[in-house]
Amino acid sequence: MSKILIIDDEIEVCNTLKEFLTQKDYEVSVAHNDKDGFALFKTIAPDLVFLELDLPTRGGLLLLGYIKAIKFYAKVIMMSANGTYTNVKLATKKGAMDFLVKPLDMGNIELKIKNALQS
């Protein structure tokens, strides 16, 4: 069973995504801030991370850098309601393998996960 970590400060997004992924037989963990998210990342070694770009305090891009620094091949999909070209470019330059714009399309997410886990 693949392990997925969701790091997002929006509780509703986390709950919806977790429920969807659990029904698809993924083992899902959730963190609502960068500190808890990074600690969970180091503890559970997820196969895939969904990471919010606009996290309070340090932000998703900085956390992405920390994740890549300890596991450069980590598979991370960034998420944000602010899916500007600049944000997408920054996230992919820092190592994100994909970028999802909120509100999330659950049908699209399943395909993104399969692609991420097969690469």
pLDDT value of residue 5: 98
Percentage of the chain beyond pLDDT 70 is: 100
Mean pLDDT score, 33-58: 94
CATH class given for the domain over 3-118: alpha beta
Residue type, 52: E
Alpha carbon distance 119, 106 (integer Å): 20
pLDDT value of residue 26: 97
Supply the DSSP string of 13-37, one letter for each residue: HHHHHHHHHHHTT-EEEEESSHHHH
pLDDT value of residue 113: 94
pLDDT in tens, 1-24: 899 999 999 999 999 999 999 999
